[in-house]
Chain A
Amino acid sequence: AQKITQTQPGMFVQEKEAVTLDCTYDTSDQSYGLFWYKQPSSGEMIFLIYQGSYDEQNATEGRYSLNFQKARKSANLVISASQLGDSAMYFCAMREAVSAAGNKLTFGGGTRVLVKP
């Protein structure tokens, strides 16, 4: 079974508008962390935002915010006021506390975002 599911393979968004990227996850752990990364066409993976399973408030980092719904096992990324430089692949990833691999990341398949001027 997929541990991280990103159902939107690609999205268009108008510059200056907000966009929501979906992410659902599957784990039996009580303690886990959810991460979002951005990967531009140049290839580097850029860390954007983190949400812990015990965090009571949704994480925010500049124009990025996380809509965390623990009961539904979803952690959607919201990008506000989209900019042309936001065009990239976005990956949701999970780290499970009981993983033997020093908390390796399990990634979803990604969502490609294209910002239109």
Chain B
Amino acid sequence: DTGVSQNPRHKITKRGQNVTFRCDPISEHNRLYWYRQTLGQGPEFLTYFQNEAQLEKSRLLSDRFSAERPKGSFSTLEIQRTEQGDSAMYLCASSRTGNINQPQHFGDGTRLSIL
């Protein structure tokens, strides 16, 4: 396993700008998840893909957020018109399909700071 890869590691941008993050899951994993983690809190679920299909979106995912996973490989998370409250760590995870015991493997995250 080469692990889950996320880019960039850090992103600093001005309020109102658009940002896009990328996640490359472990190659044999067909499930991909996005989470958001604010300082001092546990991660919160944002959205989930099985292969290329986006099967679930949290209510945390406002209309300014969009995620894609073309061809069921890497995924992108875009935030439009960023706001101060979007400042957080964005974590991507992947797992195999299967039993409930399949752990999700996380990337190192992208830390977003909104000026």
Binding site for B on A (CB under 8 A): 4, 31-33, 35, 37, 42-47, 50, 52, 91, 93, 95, 97, 100-110
Binding site for A on B (CB under 8 A): 31, 33, 35, 40-45, 48, 50, 55-56, 89, 91, 93, 100-109, 111
CA distance A65 to B35 in the complex (A): 26
CA distance A52 to B101 in the complex (A): 7
CB pair B31 A102 closer than 8 Å? yes
Q: Which residues of B contact A93 (CB under 8 A)?
A: 42
Minimum CB–CB distance from A25 to chain B (whole Å) comes to 13
CB pair B55 A97 closer than 8 Å? no
Q: Report the number of A-B residue pairs with Cβ-Cβ less than 8 Å.
A: 71
From A31, A43, A106, A110, give the contact of B45 (CB < 8 A): A106
CA distance A43 to B110 in the complex (A): 9
From A95, A101, A102, A107, give the contact of B43 (CB < 8 A): A107
CB pair A43 B100 closer than 8 Å? no
CB pair A43 B109 closer than 8 Å? yes
Q: Which residues of B contact A43 (CB under 8 A)?
A: 89, 108-109, 111
Tell whether A44 pairs with B45 under 8 Å between CB atoms, given A31-B100, A52-B100, A102-B31: no
Minimum CB–CB distance from A112 to chain B (whole Å) comes to 9
From B89, B103, B111, give the contact of A35 (CB < 8 A): B103
In the complex, the chain B residue whose C-beta lies closest to that of A51 is B101
Tell whether A42 pairs with B108 under 8 Å between CB atoms, given A107-B43, A109-B41: yes
Minimum CB–CB distance from B11 to chain A (whole Å) comes to 14
Extra inter-chain contacts (14) besides given A35-B103, A46-B106, A104-B56, CB under 8 Å: A43-B89, A43-B108, A44-B107, A45-B43, A47-B106, A50-B103, A91-B42, A93-B42, A103-B100, A103-B102, A104-B33, A105-B35, A105-B45, A109-B41
